[in-house]
Amino acid sequence: MKQHGSYAIAIVQPFDEPAIFVAAADTSANVSCTLHPAVGEAGVAATGSIDGEGRDRALDGKTLIVGMPWGKPSALTSRLAGHGDYGAATAEGSIERVVVGKASAYLETLGPTAVQPIDVTTLDIKLAIDHDRRALGVDDGALAIHAEIGSVDIVRPEGPYSRWVAPASGKTISAVAFDQTRHDAVAWLEANAGDPTYRGTTLWASPYTKDPAAVARRRVVDVPEMTGSGGRAMVLNAGVLLIRLDASRAAIYELGGEHAWLVRAEEGDAFIDPLWVDENEAVLATAKSGGTEATSVVRFARASLGASVAPSSL
């Protein structure tokens, strides 16, 4: 997301290539709109939370939803959704964002929490599931953290959810990531249950499997104390995990558990969200020091981070 004059612009763009999706909201009008784009194998989608700011109550609280399959920009579909339009969870709560998986898109709602599978082309409901939150698209559905139990469940477009992995006793799962290119591994963080600062955090991993009974959980490393985020901002790709520790630090871990790197924010910058990681670089969204909304993207070459260290020494 970038601010340009009186417009907030959301851009989906491969590195060093032209943009493939751009959405803009006029912030000088009577209505403001916060845009949240998402990409996945099924296509591109975005949500926009509308605030009438007392000047256009007819639109206040509504959500703009757009979606299209890859390679078909003329097939872009948009819908203005109000309370109750996407299942019972939206009757009382609000749509937070959208994520896109291999075959479907998934709306996240808040108050109550839910994950709602939808068709990325038509934006129609596939199945009403009022259960989880913080979805993550995988090959055959979406992984979502149970808001109350702290487990990771799998939500499928065609059927009910099922438990994928439960945390250890006295722990809660605060974040989960799926390997973006290999599609063969899942990593998650377990922290002390009931602790809002997410202390005692441990990184776990397992090969991805469609069968929850076949999950083989493996402890990777204890993660340094984080500033209350519980690692909810992390990305996994090519067997490497990038996680934001706090505004000035991020960490790169190999799931094999042998190598790790510490990434420090440049002077005057604050880390907001990890965006991408591979064997060559780490990419994070940043804001000016003290800021909470991302205003730029910074790429760190792996070679510039120095020699790796043992994961337990970070």
For residue range 71-121, list pLDDT tens digits in order.
766 667 888 887 777 766 666 667 877 888 877 888 887 766 777 788 888
| Average pLDDT of span 249-253 | 93
Q: How far apart are CA 58 and CA 140, in angstroms?
A: 38
- Averaged confidence pLDDT in the chain: 80
**What CA–CA distance (Å, rounded) separates 5 from 49?**
20
- pLDDT at site 4: 41
Number of H helices, E strands in the chain: 1, 25
The model's pLDDT over 58-74, given as tens digits with 9 standing for 90+, comes to 566 678 788 888 776 66
Sheet holding 2-4, edge to edge: 2-4, 7-12, 21-26
pLDDT of 1 reads: 44
H helices of 93-244, where? none
Percent of the chain with pLDDT over 70: 74
Say how many C-beta atoms besides its own lie within 10 A of residue 228's C-beta: 12
Q: pLDDT, tens digit, for every residue of 204-224?
A: 999 999 889 999 999 999 988
185 contacts 197 by C-beta, under 8 angstroms: no
Of 39-48, 81-90, 245-254, 272-281, minimum mean pLDDT range: 81-90
pLDDT tens per residue, range 35-54: 777 888 888 888 877 665 54
Compute the half-sphere exposure of residue 300: CA atoms within 13 Å on the CB side of its CA.
Answer: 25
Q: State pLDDT tens for residues 148-194.
A: 778 898 887 776 678 899 999 999 888 899 998 888 999 999 988 87
Contact present, 273 and 285 (Cβ < 8 Å): yes
pTM, whole model, 2 decimals? 0.76
pLDDT of residue 73: 63
Residue 273 has pLDDT above 80, yes or no: yes
